[in-house]
Chain A
């Protein structure tokens, strides 16, 4: 059998190229994901793990520590105990933590940059060289009390040079410090704007935000004080990583789902390749059986062929994946500098897993076609007609199975919506897809024929060609259909999610930018200036008064807005408060260090001058540090309301960062302050964008594999139809016409797949909507992104046309005489 095996490989090897591309692409996809995950892990170890790199132990509070110290930084160590421990271990211990302190120049001039307003974070630098994780850029590290190094970014932002003197802290703990150098430090929770010696750091030990989060230790610890646990550095970082991963679980699930889709489509493309090739070679197999090859001999020969194909494809896929993955890491680093990736060692597990999966997928795909080929009676060799696909129509068993699957699939989907069950949804979706695969030969060829008549003469011929192998056509189409279904579902799902999130955000963040001026009323000049700032769609001045409220130390403006609908994203609904109540922005008051001590429903006294009102508190969010009251209430408090706040709305598509900067400058110049919700909005949009584009990119690979499948089916069918094509050519069909027939066939397959896939995809999206979105956001409605879907349709149809180019050239290259002589 070796001779046959080798000769088959030599003769038919090239016909497996499409199958190999499919397998290679899937394997490469998995390897790329593996490399990127390993890269992210290495990046996190390099960043989060930096302070512990040379340590033997990390000491931190146990996870279920009952007494959590400062509310800003939960889960930190008992400060006194940690300081004692570090004192005992001396050089071998490095305390890690931060304290937030006021900051001024020594001459009293304020220091500010961006969001940092006269405040800075200070961290300690380890005594032992080995435990220092900050990298010196210029100057030197602090040697004792009175010296400080700045993070080079902060130094640049605040315009501080080496040798400058700054004042850090307040009152009795204020420290004059000389800047002796600049450092860089990785983005970890221990990162601070400036670093001082441990002794200096301890001077602020009584400050409310002072904390020691963990201690890195070299060598032995000795007795561990109560309320502390020691970890190995690797384990500590891995655990932090796990906490981080909780947030990305959904992403991992999505990745897994897309890899499964790619694999499934590959299986179909490979199975189709084997089916077609074996159908073409069935007379070879029959002849072999005639001259005495047992079934097992034929099977093992075919399997060895499949194994070689799989090995070559998996190896190629792994290589491509490694190259792509490692190539992507610098690209990701360039595009997203906030999440640095490291260069990982070879993720052996992923590489081996992906290759093995490629092998398994190919072998599974060859199973059914091989069984069919071997079941062939030896007599088939002697029949003069060429038998093509053997099992074309689904048998009774397949039909029954299909009906059962369809029913269970639909029932699962229904229950998924009622019970909000993800598992049922995926299971139901998979059942429906398998149903299509099973009974596709029944309804896909008629659809192709129906569409073919629309395409005219070539369409009819092409449809006839496509309809003659229903099973083959159905499998080819279904592979693409699945890709389109998933793409449609994801696009529709994300569009719906985005609309729902937008609506939700509009009520939570009604005002984009609020400019507050407590000291003096807003001038009309300022309002005009704000309105003329680039990126401002509209701005209004809101009347009110500056008030003092029980539970708050600082005065706040209380406002009664009459025309908020001009700028508010929720249509001004948040300003419609009942008389006798005051609405407060929960986020604004909660964000600055402490929590708001005022509970919803509690009563507060609001005083303006010598008038006062007793009001009930309503907590809402999204307009900054101001109380919103009814006009009636405002009348009680003051007779001459004045504008103290401008509310502005950013226009769509504007550069929001720039806009916030510009307004900040205006506010600074007039002694006001601004608060904005635009950055939160932009960050949310960016996240959705990243999700959408990664999902589309991953699905694009699946769709590309399916399109390779179309090219493959056409290419192999062309070989089979060489004689017919030669006859057509002999009868006067031009090369161009022959190519057009094939192009029409490819177009028909891709259009039918797209139409079916989009219909099913929208249904799936609806199920997903009922299962996920409605549960999260009650008021959501489903959005079908018709424009994106039309683009997908156009792209797939064009790609389908493109896939007919190579087969068309092949077919047209055969001279009629040569075609007629072929056996």
Chain B
């Protein structure tokens, strides 16, 4: 776990190791989906959200999933992240078939392998920024030790929120909230970081800051990042772009 590593010197996010990881970028995908199908509703009101989607997400890259509203981007992401069950098809992350896990196993798997950043409401309002960042660690049931604190401080520093750590979410700007959310998502060094419209609620300057940090995460930390967006400007920050239309990848 990266969580136990010593903090890297200021300015770089483990660039040396990132280079190592990059070598096998194309060897095993970070996540793959096969023949994912999902519908909502029944009869007349039946809506196809995913029609037999196949997808491989390469390791260590920043992938954007683009498409018009209602094309199934979010549904795909939910299925990939184990938040929702597809009607048929399989999702494999880090060699594990998500379909074989029960609710508790899936939860623990999510905790250890997947990080999330949502459009809004990322942070628990009653916790401070630093408590929010440390939340995934706390959920593992371990005592919060110096190493975890140091890693949280380091991530906060790297994301530019180090001086806001004692504040509650209500006292942070939208951009700051999203960056705190990214720091939390990265705390346990997940295999995959999912971001659903992370800049949807932000002005362009704040959005640029968040996107910048997401890209650095991929490039300097070797983190696999998947971002859902319908904003072409946001998609420009990504390494790869997948376009969805009418519940299919085109």
Are the C-beta atoms of B139 and A11 separated by less than 8 Å? no
| 1/0 contact string of A20-63 vs chain B (CB within 8 Å) | 00000000000000000000000000000000000000000000
A241 on the B face (CB < 8 A): no
Are the C-beta atoms of B107 and A294 separated by less than 8 Å? yes
Are the C-beta atoms of A3 and B103 separated by less than 8 Å? no
Look across to chain B and name the residue whose beta carbon is closest to the beta carbon of A290: B116
Look across to chain B and name the residue whose beta carbon is closest to the beta carbon of A7: B126
Look across to chain B and name the residue whose beta carbon is closest to the beta carbon of A10: B126
A1 on the B face (CB < 8 A): yes
Are the C-beta atoms of B121 and A381 separated by less than 8 Å? yes
Are the C-beta atoms of B110 and A7 separated by less than 8 Å? no
Complex: A382 Cα to B107 Cα, angstroms:
16
Q: A1-B138, A379-B84, A382-B118 are in contact. Are A291 and B126 (CB under 8 A)?
A: no
B184 on the A face (CB < 8 A): yes
Partner of A3, one of B104, B127, B184: B127
Partner of A291, one of B74, B84, B103, B116: B116
A206 on the B face (CB < 8 A): no
B22 on the A face (CB < 8 A): no
A523 on the B face (CB < 8 A): no
A133-141, A160-168, A280-288, A458-466: which lies at the interface: A280-288
Are the C-beta atoms of B196 and A823 separated by less than 8 Å? no
| 1/0 contact string of A379-411 vs chain B (CB within 8 Å) | 101101000000000000000000000000000
B5-13, B43-51, B129-137: which lies at the interface: B129-137
A564 to chain B, nearest CB (A): 81
B32 on the A face (CB < 8 A): no
Partner of B126, one of A11, A283, A297, A382: A11
Query: Which interface residue of A11, A291, A295, A296 has the most chain B CB atoms within 10 A?
Result: A291
B108 on the A face (CB < 8 A): yes
Partner of A293, one of B107, B112, B123, B127: B107
| 1/0 contact string of B52-76 vs chain A (CB within 8 Å) | 0000000000000000000000100
Complex: A296 Cα to B104 Cα, angstroms:
9
Partner of A12, one of B126, B134, B138, B140: B126
Complex: A295 Cα to B122 Cα, angstroms:
19
Are the C-beta atoms of A287 and B121 separated by less than 8 Å? yes
Q: A295-B107, A382-B118, A382-B196 are in contact. Are A287 and B124 (CB under 8 A)?
A: yes
A188 on the B face (CB < 8 A): no
Contacts of B103 in A (CB 8 A): 295
Partner of A292, one of B122, B123, B134, B139: B139
Q: A294-B104, A294-B108 are in contact. Are A1 and B196 (CB under 8 A)?
A: no
Interface size on A, residues (CB 8 A): 29
Contacts of B242 in A (CB 8 A): none
Are the C-beta atoms of A288 and B124 separated by less than 8 Å? yes
Contacts of A289 in B (CB 8 A): 107
B216 on the A face (CB < 8 A): no
Complex: A291 Cα to B194 Cα, angstroms:
11
Are the C-beta atoms of A295 and B104 separated by less than 8 Å? yes
Contacts of B124 in A (CB 8 A): 4, 7, 284, 287-288
Contacts of A284 in B (CB 8 A): 124-126
Partner of B139, one of A12, A291, A378: A291
B83 on the A face (CB < 8 A): yes
| 1/0 contact string of A359-384 vs chain B (CB within 8 Å) | 00000000000000000011101101
B170 on the A face (CB < 8 A): yes
B210 to chain A, nearest CB (A): 17
Q: A291-B116, A292-B107, A384-B120 are in contact. Are A3 and B84 (CB under 8 A)?
A: no
Contacts of B83 in A (CB 8 A): 290, 377-379, 382
B213 on the A face (CB < 8 A): no
Complex: A379 Cα to B124 Cα, angstroms:
15
Complex: A287 Cα to B141 Cα, angstroms:
17
A443 to chain B, nearest CB (A): 30
Contacts of B107 in A (CB 8 A): 289, 292-295, 378
Are the C-beta atoms of B122 and A287 separated by less than 8 Å? yes
Contacts of B116 in A (CB 8 A): 290-291
| 1/0 contact string of A544-587 vs chain B (CB within 8 Å) | 00000000000000000000000000000000000000000000
Contacts of B140 in A (CB 8 A): 292
Query: Which interface residue of B104, B116, B134, B139 has the most chain A CB atoms within 10 A?
Result: B139
| 1/0 contact string of A600-638 vs chain B (CB within 8 Å) | 000000000000000000000000000000000000000
Complex: A292 Cα to B105 Cα, angstroms:
10
**A interface secondary structure, majority:** helix
Contacts of A12 in B (CB 8 A): 126
Q: A3-B134, A297-B139, A379-B78 are in contact. Are A291 and B184 (CB under 8 A)?
A: yes
Are the C-beta atoms of B136 and A291 separated by less than 8 Å? yes
Complex: A806 Cα to B123 Cα, angstroms:
30
Contacts of B120 in A (CB 8 A): 384, 823
A8 on the B face (CB < 8 A): yes
Contacts of B122 in A (CB 8 A): 287
B117 to chain A, nearest CB (A): 11
Query: Which interface residue of A12, A290, A377 has the most chain B CB atoms within 10 A?
Result: A290
| 1/0 contact string of B147-185 vs chain A (CB within 8 Å) | 000000000000000000000001000000000000010
Contacts of B108 in A (CB 8 A): 292, 294
Contacts of A8 in B (CB 8 A): 126
Complex: A7 Cα to B121 Cα, angstroms:
17
Complex: A521 Cα to B121 Cα, angstroms:
100
Complex: A406 Cα to B221 Cα, angstroms:
65
Contacts of A283 in B (CB 8 A): 121
A387 to chain B, nearest CB (A): 12
Are the C-beta atoms of A823 and B170 separated by less than 8 Å? yes
Contacts of B112 in A (CB 8 A): 292
B128 to chain A, nearest CB (A): 8
Contacts of A2 in B (CB 8 A): 138
B142 to chain A, nearest CB (A): 12
A601 to chain B, nearest CB (A): 85
Are the C-beta atoms of A382 and B74 separated by less than 8 Å? yes
Query: Which interface residue of B103, B125, B126, B136 has the most chain A CB atoms within 10 A?
Result: B126
Are the C-beta atoms of B138 and A4 separated by less than 8 Å? yes
Contacts of B119 in A (CB 8 A): 382, 384
Complex: A381 Cα to B118 Cα, angstroms:
9
Complex: A7 Cα to B110 Cα, angstroms:
24
Look across to chain B and name the residue whose beta carbon is closest to the beta carbon of A292: B111
| 1/0 contact string of A281-322 vs chain B (CB within 8 Å) | 001100111111111110000000000000000000000000
B144 to chain A, nearest CB (A): 8
Contacts of B131 in A (CB 8 A): 3, 7
B203 to chain A, nearest CB (A): 16
Query: Which interface residue of B104, B124, B131 has the most chain A CB atoms within 10 A?
Result: B124
Contacts of B184 in A (CB 8 A): 291
Contacts of A1 in B (CB 8 A): 138-139, 141
Contacts of A379 in B (CB 8 A): 78, 83-84
Complex: A198 Cα to B58 Cα, angstroms:
110
Contacts of A288 in B (CB 8 A): 124, 135, 139
Complex: A243 Cα to B124 Cα, angstroms:
62
Look across to chain B and name the residue whose beta carbon is closest to the beta carbon of A285: B124
Q: A4-B127, A379-B84 are in contact. Are A292 and B136 (CB under 8 A)?
A: yes
Contacts of B126 in A (CB 8 A): 4, 7-8, 10-12, 284
Complex: A306 Cα to B108 Cα, angstroms:
25
Complex: A462 Cα to B107 Cα, angstroms:
42
* 19 A-B pairs whose Cβ atoms sit less than 8 Å apart in the complex: A1-B139, A1-B141, A3-B127, A3-B131, A4-B135, A7-B124, A12-B126, A283-B121, A284-B124, A288-B139, A292-B110, A292-B140, A294-B107, A294-B108, A295-B107, A296-B104, A297-B139, A823-B120, A823-B170
> Lowest 3 CB-CB distances: which A-B pairs, in order?
A292-B111, A11-B126, A7-B126
**Could you list 15 further interchain pairs (A-B, Cβ under 8 angstroms) beyond the known A284-B125, A287-B124?**
A3-B138, A4-B126, A291-B116, A291-B135, A292-B111, A293-B111, A293-B139, A381-B121, A382-B74, A382-B83, A382-B118, A382-B119, A384-B119, A823-B120, A823-B121
Q: A: which residues have CB within 8 A of B?
A: 1-4, 7-8, 10-12, 283-284, 287-297, 377-379, 381-382, 384, 823
